[in-house]
């Protein structure tokens, strides 16, 4: 969603405006400034730590979800390759948006999609913010 010469952390506060809860990201989103900005709007950023960083105590539910990032990458890969939303030569913003929405609709109609298979108790734990 951002050009290659843009820091991925820069637009995050604008993208998540109005959201609360937990936000999972990769190590590229680690930034004390970003963590503090997100905490102000009750959004907890959860990422793996870089080498040499102090360990952080995480609730077990958060730790398990952090391990499921491979599932997110699988979904991104399916959106890019099967639904073909990654196409860089659009002639207009409207054409890009139509292509993106058509890809998302096509993905929702796939018979087999990756899933976390969470129970109701696990879902309740996800809604808890420490």
pLDDT in tens, 49-107: 767 766 676 767 677 777 777 777 787 787 877 777 776 677 888 888 888 888 888 88
For the entire predicted model, the pTM comes to: 0.57
Polymer length in residues for the chain: 130
What is the pairing mode between strands 21-24 and 43-46? parallel
Instruction: Determine the Cα–Cα distance for residues 115 and 130; give it in Å rounded to an integer.
Output: 25
8 A C-beta contact, residue 41 and residue 19: yes
Tokens 């190590």 belong to 27
Q: What is the pLDDT of residues 8-38, one digit of tens each?
A: 777 787 878 888 888 877 777 777 888 888 8
SS3 category, 46? strand
Backbone angles phi, psi at 10, to 5 degrees: -60, -50
Q: What is the pLDDT of residues 30-56, one digit of tens each?
A: 778 888 888 888 888 777 776 776 667
8 A C-beta contact, residue 54 and residue 78: no
Using alpha carbons, list the distances in angstroms from residue 110 to 17, 81, 83, 106, 114: 30, 13, 10, 7, 10
Q: Where are the domains of the chain?
A: 1-56, 57-130
Chain CA centroid to CA 71, Å: 11
């Amino acid at each position: 969603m951002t050009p290659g010469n843009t820091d991925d952390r820069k637009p995050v506060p604008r993208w998540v405006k109005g959201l609360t809860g937990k936000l999972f990201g990769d190590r590229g989103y680690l930034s004390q400034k970003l963590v503090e900005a997100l905490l102000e709007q009750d959004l907890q950023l959860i990422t793996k730590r870089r080498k040499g960083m102090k360990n952080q105590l995480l609730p077990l539910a958060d730790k398990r979800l952090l391990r499921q990032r491979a599932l997110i990458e699988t979904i991104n890969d399916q959106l890019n390759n099967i639904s073909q939303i990654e196409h860089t030569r659009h002639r207009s913003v409207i054409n890009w948006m139509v292509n993106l929405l058509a890809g998302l609709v096509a993905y929702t109609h796939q018979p087999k999609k990756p899933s976390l298979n969470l129970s109701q108790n696990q879902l309740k734990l996800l809604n808890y913010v420490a």
